Amino acid sequence: DSGVTQTPKHLITATGQRVTLRCSPRSGDLSVYWYQQSLDQGLQFLIQYYNGEERAKGNILERFSAQQFPDLHSELNLSSLELGDSALYFCASSGRNSNQPQHFGDGTRLSIL
């Protein structure tokens, strides 16, 4: 158990819809990262938050947005969903030191029909 909690585990929806993925980091971790894993793109970094503030942005589409709340949980919002958005979405958290690993949640598997 990594200590990172992601909900829901599975999500099935249709094109054009909007979904929200939720992540609770490990106790004490201030950084939250979102990654997308798809067959064609592999594991891609989307966005990072640190203590409520956006810290870094990767290959995140404009249709996607995220935020980190005062209790440090984070949400990833995906809108105007397309078939290509079907993927496994991971949240990870880490401590302050750069040599600390990122611990991953079990992921949310998103299927767009």
Partner 1 sequence: AQKITQTQPGMFVQEKEAVTLDCTYDTSDPSYGLFWYKQPSSGEMIFLIYQGSYDQQNATEGRYSLNFQKARKSANLVISASQLGDSAMYFCSIKAGNEKLTFGTGTRLTIIP
Q: What is the contact surface with partner 1 in residues (CB under 8 A)?
A: 2, 31, 33, 35, 42-43, 45, 48, 55-56, 58, 88, 90, 92, 94, 98-99, 101-107, 109
CB of 94 vs partner 1, minimal distance in Å: 8
For partner 1, the closer of residues 15 and 41 by Cβ is 41
From the list 72, 59, 85, 54, the residue with the least C-alpha distance to 4 is: 72
For partner 1, the closer of residues 24 and 48 by Cβ is 48
For partner 1, the closer of residues 70 and 101 by Cβ is 101
Please, are residues 77 and 20 in contact by the beta-carbon 8 Å criterion? yes
DSSP 83: G
For partner 1, the closer of residues 59 and 80 by Cβ is 59
CB of 106 vs partner 1, minimal distance in Å: 5
